[in-house]
Structure 1
Amino acid sequence: MTNYYFIGIKGTGMASLALILHDQGNKVLGSDIDKETFTQFPLVKAGIQITDFDPDLIKSNYVVVKGNAFSDDHPQVLAAKKVGAKLLTYPQAVEEVIRRHFSIAVSGAHGKTSTTSLLAHILSNFESTSYLIGDGVGKGVFSSKYFVVEADEYDRHFQPFTPDVAIITNIDWDHPDYYKSLDDVKSAFSEFADHVKKIIFAYGEDPEIKKIKPKTARILSYGFEKSDYFCANNIDKRTEGSYFSLSKGGRKLGDFFATIEGDHGILDTTAAIAVADYLGFSVDQIQKGLLTYQGAKRRFNISQVADLTIVDDYAHHPTEIKATIDAARQKFPNKRLVAVFQPHTYTRVNAFKDEYVNALKSADKVYITPIFGSLREKAGNAKSEDILDKLPNAGAIISESNAYDKLSAEHRSVLVFMGAGDIEKYEDALKKGFE
């Protein structure tokens, strides 16, 4: 048993990793701010203690894991160095878990959380599987056979990872506060691919992925083209989900049904199927896993209030917004779609304002909240009006105080809430108005 102390334990990845290490028989505790977050509830349920940032709590026999948002001069980091505790960054701690398992890392600019969650679910039905997902979910199984991990490209966090198998869903320019260009992003994914030991399943129609030449691993493509090794075809999109066939190396592998809507849902499902097939799972086993999958947190979660249908989704990049609206069109073909979008970070709005306009045009009406910043970026030279004022389907800027008045008037519509910040507070304000 190892004693782990997490600095910033409520972070989505940190909370997931803390749960894994706890479930595998280690003693885990950690520090964070008092503000309530959705990630803390599984920690509390597991009996994991959450403390303040008191440096005196750090002991020499701890393995201290430093969250990505915390600098080297943080008081608890300095305390760890002073008492001689082993100090790891979050990516380094994840790599230690990767090395103890047959590991599958899921990377990509978009779709990695849904793909990680789905793959972990399929494998867990039939084999002992630990997993770490970017939505704050983590499960550790003692002596598990597989470890499925979401590999985040921000700040090159996935660089230490050395998985046996990897998925690359796509390569796109995002996180403009860190990556300066698409070439910069591609170089990070190329470095990550060089660390994969055996095989990479990659989206075959992505032009940037095609440029990657891993040092060791071979690449098998998946997608919609006949040239893809895993090719999804005979697609039938319905309100309950998507039916499709999958060929493998030019020969039919099987027929499948997935409840994840849209083309991106079929692609994410195909990637998960490809890995499960590689690991020796049968078509029947894979389909059983697909049928019992409940979805990832904040990925197209549907609820109802009064005569309004609410879709809650993490989409915050223009590519993700387009995919989410397309999925809503498939799920609700005869409904009016109203987008409620929370822009995430000022640099992203500055970099992609025209792309946001093009993506949001496909909704019937658009409301936008003020920009949600981050710990790294609390202000900037951008505002939500930079997007809203260019939209022909513009509604208004909404706040917690006017969310009910504005949105409750959209009778019998589907409200698609999208954002990576605290957009749930606008949903809550709407729901409380009906109480």
Structure 2
Amino acid sequence: MEFENVYFLGIGGIGMSALARYFLHEGKRVAGYDRTRTALTDALAAEGAAVCYDEAAECIPAPFRDRRTTVVVYTPAVPDDHAGLAWFRREGFEVVKRSQMLGLLSAGKYVQAVAGTHGKTTTSTLLAWLDRGTTGGGSAFLGGLSKNFGSNLVLGSGDRLTVEADEFDRSFLRLDPDTAVITSADPDHLDIYGTHEAMKEAFAQFIRQIRPGGYLVLKRGTDLRVDNPAITVYGYACDAPADFHAANVRLLDGGRYRYDIVVPDGVYRDCTLGVPGWVNVENSVAAVAALWCAARARGERPDGERLRAALASFEGVKRRFECYINTPRQVYMDDYAHHPRELAATLASVREMFPGRRITALFQPHLYTRTRDLCDGFAEALSLADEAVLLPIYPAREEPIPGVDSQMIARRLTVPWRIVEREALAETVAAMDTDVVISFGAGNIDACCAAIAEKLKERAGTTA
């Protein structure tokens, strides 16, 4: 594929922006559309991309209106009737999905793909960091902003490429990985798949696409068909027996853990992860497993000292278990969790980190279909907190569904709850008697984080 210009429809998406950054680095001219201006689109503009917020075809810059020199990349979240997308197709441009472009860029690489309905962003980001720490190289396309790398794009030496393999719209089926991690396969994206069984079949197809001689690292208990006889299959778990698992786990001050990581040929003792949370211990076992498999493919083994140093220096991912305040009188954390299993796992981690303290969960449901399909699970998970504050549903790409709203979840809660508008969230939380507060959601609740933290800090200062 030869081209000088790349135009992105949905350039502000976390996966799309990583591709945009890659092509900017490669010296291509980059432009794109997004519906909303964000810190990420501002960053892309500062890095040299031309970003517009009007979908009209007339707003496409002149250099990108030549189909001989321009390729168009779009995200499935962009509807088919989008004016810009329709114009590019009508004019005969080469138009590819983000997943197709990612598949093209992975050709010739040793691909380490992390898939799953939750946990994949932290796991893939940690894998990229471990790669850098133990080999000094490796590249990555990530689904979140790594605090260590300061980006969702990692460019490094060598042929290893870590990618977050997204099951939405079957995007991960564009990849043929050498090592694949599957963290979970819980019901999600049923607006795309229709049934949980259809979604699981897509994961089974993803497993079939692992290259001969490759590896599958599968979370223990994940119910998926594995019928690729040309690969080696390993299981992993947090602290239960498996090919890869954590042992001798100790909770440290601040919610971090020290533990041993058991691998098929030995043990990496006294590992300390740089970020808190029990759920991240599990993510680290998966990342180490993938790293170990990639090394084994070369007849090597990750160096223990370098591995421990990389785990300890891992700073996490923006909006994944991110701590804004952590004092004996007030804690505030934010997390991207938007599936019941994610919420439950994070709340369980918070409960273990802060035993005996009162937990307030703030949650913005994401998508009408997901709320409709999983409302019982959301209510069960949020009831693990001591109280809940819900925001209206963030629609993303969807139109409202009659009768589907945040009340569907609220009515099923077994703890006190209230529903507030996003604009009033910071003031509402500041007026509440809170101790440990954690906000959840994949929509725009993150725009409230700074204000919530500021209000809670102000209150702590006046009552200290």
TM-score (norm 1): 0.91
**1:134 alignment counterpart:** 143
**1:285 alignment counterpart:** 306
Q: Output one character per residue of 1:244-300: Cα deviation in whole Å (capped at 9) or x when no partner.
A: 112222733433111344442122101111122232421211111111111111101
Which piece of structure 1 moves more, 151-160 or 117-126? Answer: 117-126
**1:329 alignment counterpart:** 351
CA contact 2:387–2:417 (8 Å) conserved in 1: yes
Q: Distance in 2 between matches of 1:431 and 1:275?
A: 36
**2:320 alignment counterpart:** 299
**2:404 alignment counterpart:** 382
Residues 18, 401 of structure 1: CA spacing in aligned structure 2 closer, same or farther, 3 A cutoff?
A: closer
**2:251 alignment counterpart:** 237
- Secondary structure at the residue paired with 1:219? strand
CA contact 1:23–1:141 (8 Å) conserved in 2: no
Read off the aligned partner of 1:155 and give its amino acid letter. Answer: D
Read off the aligned partner of 2:306 and give its amino acid letter. Answer: Q
- Residue from 20, 25, 47 that aligns with 1:23: 25
RMSD over equivalenced CA pairs, Å:
2.5
CA contact 1:115–1:269 (8 Å) conserved in 2: yes
CA contact 1:313–1:418 (8 Å) conserved in 2: yes
Identity of aligned residues (%): 28
**1:95 alignment counterpart:** 103
Q: Output one character per residue of 1:147-200: Cα deviation in whole Å (capped at 9) or x when no partner.
A: 111011011111111122111111111122222222112101011111111433
Residues 267, 216 of structure 1: CA spacing in aligned structure 2 closer, same or farther, 3 A cutoff?
A: same
Q: Distance in 2 between matches of 1:402 and 1:249?
A: 52
Read off the aligned partner of 2:279 and give its amino acid letter. Answer: H
- Secondary structure at the residue paired with 1:170? coil
CA contact 2:76–2:169 (8 Å) conserved in 1: no
Residues 270, 407 of structure 1: CA spacing in aligned structure 2 closer, same or farther, 3 A cutoff?
A: same
- Residue from 84, 88, 94 that aligns with 1:80: 88
Q: Distance in 2 between matches of 1:215 and 1:139?
A: 33
> Alpha-carbon deviation of 1:79?
3.8
**1:418 alignment counterpart:** 440
**1:348 alignment counterpart:** 370
Residues 225, 389 of structure 1: CA spacing in aligned structure 2 closer, same or farther, 3 A cutoff?
A: closer
- Secondary structure at the residue paired with 1:408? helix
> Alpha-carbon deviation of 1:43?
1.1
> Alpha-carbon deviation of 1:75?
3.6
- Secondary structure at the residue paired with 1:340? strand
- Secondary structure at the residue paired with 1:139? strand
Read off the aligned partner of 1:90 and give its amino acid letter. Answer: R
The answer as to 2:266 corresponding to 1:251 is yes
Which piece of structure 1 moves more, 327-336 or 294-303? Answer: 327-336
Q: Distance in 1 between matches of 2:242 and 2:229?
A: 21
Residues 355, 75 of structure 1: CA spacing in aligned structure 2 closer, same or farther, 3 A cutoff?
A: closer
Q: Output one character per residue of 1:121-162: Cα deviation in whole Å (capped at 9) or x when no partner.
A: 121234332211112643252765321110110111111111
CA contact 1:240–1:259 (8 Å) conserved in 2: no
Read off the aligned partner of 1:122 and give its amino acid letter. Answer: L
Give 1:255-266 correspondences, 5 Å limit.
255-266=270-281
Q: Distance in 2 between matches of 1:47 and 1:148?
A: 25
Q: Distance in 2 between matches of 1:174 and 1:4?
A: 31
> Alpha-carbon deviation of 1:71?
4.1
- Secondary structure at the residue paired with 1:158? helix
Which piece of structure 1 moves more, 177-186 or 297-306? Answer: 297-306
- Secondary structure at the residue paired with 2:396? coil
- Residue from 225, 230, 233 that aligns with 1:219: 233
Which piece of structure 1 moves more, 297-306 or 157-166? Answer: 297-306
CA contact 1:305–1:431 (8 Å) conserved in 2: no
- Secondary structure at the residue paired with 1:99? coil
> Alpha-carbon deviation of 1:31?
2.0
Aligned length, in residue pairs? 433
**1:358 alignment counterpart:** 380
Read off the aligned partner of 2:144 and give its amino acid letter. Answer: D
Q: Output one character per residue of 1:378-417: Cα deviation in whole Å (capped at 9) or x when no partner.
A: 4443121222233232231122454344311334511110
The answer as to 2:63 corresponding to 1:48 is no
Q: Which is helix-richer, 1 or 2?
A: 2
Q: Distance in 2 between matches of 1:71 and 1:283?
A: 48
Q: Distance in 2 between matches of 1:433 and 1:242?
A: 30
**2:298 alignment counterpart:** none
Q: Output one character per residue of 1:104-129: Cα deviation in whole Å (capped at 9) or x when no partner.
A: 11101110001011111121234332
Q: Distance in 2 between matches of 1:169 and 1:260?
A: 19
Q: Output one character per residue of 1:36-59: Cα deviation in whole Å (capped at 9) or x when no partner.
A: 223214313322221344535322
**2:189 alignment counterpart:** 175
- Secondary structure at the residue paired with 2:191? coil
Q: Distance in 1 between matches of 2:414 and 2:366?
A: 22
Read off the aligned partner of 1:255 and give its amino acid letter. Answer: D
- Residue from 390, 403, 406 that aligns with 2:428: 406
Which piece of structure 1 moves more, 80-89 or 162-171? Answer: 80-89
TM-score (norm 2): 0.86
Give 1:365-376 correspondences, 5 Å limit.
365-376=387-398
CA contact 2:260–2:267 (8 Å) conserved in 1: yes
Which piece of structure 1 moves more, 95-104 or 305-314? Answer: 305-314
CA contact 2:248–2:259 (8 Å) conserved in 1: yes
Which piece of structure 1 moves more, 276-285 or 421-430? Answer: 421-430
Q: Distance in 2 between matches of 1:333 and 1:255?
A: 24
CA contact 1:344–1:372 (8 Å) conserved in 2: yes
**2:12 alignment counterpart:** 10
**2:283 alignment counterpart:** 268
Residues 289, 380 of structure 1: CA spacing in aligned structure 2 closer, same or farther, 3 A cutoff?
A: farther
Q: Distance in 2 between matches of 1:67 and 1:123?
A: 28
CA contact 1:367–1:397 (8 Å) conserved in 2: yes
